[in-house]
Amino acid sequence: MRTRVREGDRDAFAELFDAYARSVYNHAFRLTWDWSVAEDVVSLTFLEAWRLRGRVDAEGGSLRPWLLGIATNVVRNTRRAARRHAAALSRLTAEEALPDIADEVAGRLDDAASLAAVQQALQTLRRPEREVLALCVWSGLDYASAARALRVPVGTVRSRLSRARRKLAAAAERREPRPDRGQVRDGRVVAARPIQEGNR
């Protein structure tokens, strides 16, 4: 597959898309929390993969980490473009405010309250920490694959993930437990602990 991708085999890219488009989409959504932007990221990721196909090593395993690394960079570029666009719009005199699509996105979800809590907790993380969390915990990459995807040392991945976990645990502790959730111990409600990552 790597050789075929390097050589620009269109059938190989079709197979690559079929195999990993959903994974790229999920990763993009976890970084952006926007369904529409995630769809754009998928398209841009595979266009960029086609452009960068010559850089694929002939030897190696799955191309998923490579694609997720490209998607991470696409999200960064998309955010920069969105900030520039927002700055340009703020300089214009708008007759009416642009509609906020957050309600539309939340309306598609079964548990908007849980999503809001997760988003609030994730806002405590810096961008590099969110990226490592998305790759290692949500996308299931091991430390070495995440390091290759982000082009950083494995130790950097470990330290960023450790910081992200500490911050999320602290955010979860600050959140007041709801009386209808959690475990009751000695008459007190104990908030559920965060899900622990498997063997990494």
Task: Compute CA 113 distance to the chain's CA centroid, rounded to the nearest angstrom.
Answer: 20
For the chain, how many residues are written?
200
Instruction: State which amino acid sits at residue 65.
Output: P
DSSP result, the chain: -HHHHHTT-HHHHHHHHHHHHHHHHHHHHHHH--HHHHHHHHHHHHHHHHHTGGGS-SS-S-SHHHHHHHHHHHHHHHHHHHHHHHHHHHHS--SSPPPP-HHHHHHTSS-HHHHHHHHHHHTTS-HHHHHHHIIIIIS---HHHHHHHHTS-HHHHHHHHHHHHHHHHHHHHHSPPPTTSSEEETTEEEPPPPPPP---
Residue extents of the structural domains in the chain: 1-90
Task: Compute CA 135 distance to the chain's CA centroid, rounded to the nearest angstrom.
Answer: 7
Query: What does the pLDDT average to over 27-52?
Result: 92
Neighbours of 92 (CB within 10 A): 7
pLDDT tier at 19, thresholds 50, 70, 90: very high
Q: For residues 190 and 30, what is the distance between their CA atoms, to the nearest angstrom? A: 27
Residue carrying the six token digits 């091991």: 142
* CATH number 3.40.50.720 given to 1-90: no
Name which of 60-64, 106-110, 178-182 the model is least confident about.
178-182
- The tens digit of pLDDT for each residue in 127-171 reads 898 888 888 888 888 999 989 889 999 999 999 999 988 888 887
Give pLDDT, residue 191.
43
Inter-residue contact 49 to 12 (CB < 8 Å)? no
Question: Average pLDDT, whole number, for the chain?
Answer: 79
Predicted confidence (pLDDT) at residue 197 exceeds the cutoff of 90: no
